[in-house]
């Protein structure tokens, strides 16, 4: 009989982890469902940056609430992400304006500024 041992994954120390930034975005002019925003956001950014550029920025939607979105990206790429938001004007055939409000290194700061609990 062969005994299978499970090995515990080693965590990466904080000093070796990739740094990230969070961008608070407000959606103006339209009510957009979370799922529609997610796919529309990706498609529009993919069209602007291409697959390689989008992989370098590595945007992830962390929180969507009350037409306010928190997006995580790599550090030093937040400026490119904000520039790409200027080119997003339609999501699922609804005209929208994405207004970047604030950039921070923590989600907690953005939640307090946006009034999201």
Which domains can be identified in the chain, with CATH numbers? 19-114 (3.30.70.3250)
Measured in Å, how far apart are the chain's first and last C-alpha atoms?
A: 53
pTM of the model: 0.83
Could you read off the pLDDT tens digit of each residue along the chain, which spans 117 residues? Answer: 777 887 888 888 888 888 899 999 999 988 889 999 999 889 999 999 999 999 999 999 999 998 899 999 999 999 999 999 998 888 888 899 999 999 999 999 999 988 887
Q: Which of 92, 101, 117, 111 is nearest to 30 (CA)?
A: 92
In this prediction, residue 47 carries a pLDDT of 92
Q: Are the CB atoms for 100 and 83 separated by under 8 Å?
A: no
- Cβ contacts of residue 105 below 8 Å, gap of 6+? 20, 21, 22
Pairing of strands 68-74, 94-95: unpaired
Pairing of strands 90-91, 20-28: unpaired
Total count of residues recorded for the chain: 117
In this prediction, residue 81 carries a pLDDT of 94
Q: Which of 107, 102, 91, 82 is nearest to 33 (CA)?
A: 91
Alpha-carbon Rg for the chain in angstroms: 17
CA dist 75 and 20 (Å) reads 5
């Amino acid at each position: 009989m062969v005994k299978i041992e499970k090995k515990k994954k080693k965590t990466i120390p904080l000093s070796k982890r990739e740094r990230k930034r969070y961008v608070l975005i407000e959606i103006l002019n339209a009510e957009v469902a979370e799922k529609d925003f997610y796919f529309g956001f990706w498609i529009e950014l993919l069209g602007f940056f291409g697959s390689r550029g989008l992989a370098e920025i590595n945007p992830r939607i962390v929180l969507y609430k009350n037409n306010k979105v928190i997006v995580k990206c790599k550090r030093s790429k937040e400026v490119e992400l904000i520039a790409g938001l200027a080119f997003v004007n339609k999501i699922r055939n609804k005209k929208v304006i994405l207004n970047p409000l604030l950039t921070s290194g923590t989600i907690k700061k953005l939640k307090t500024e946006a009034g999201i609990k």
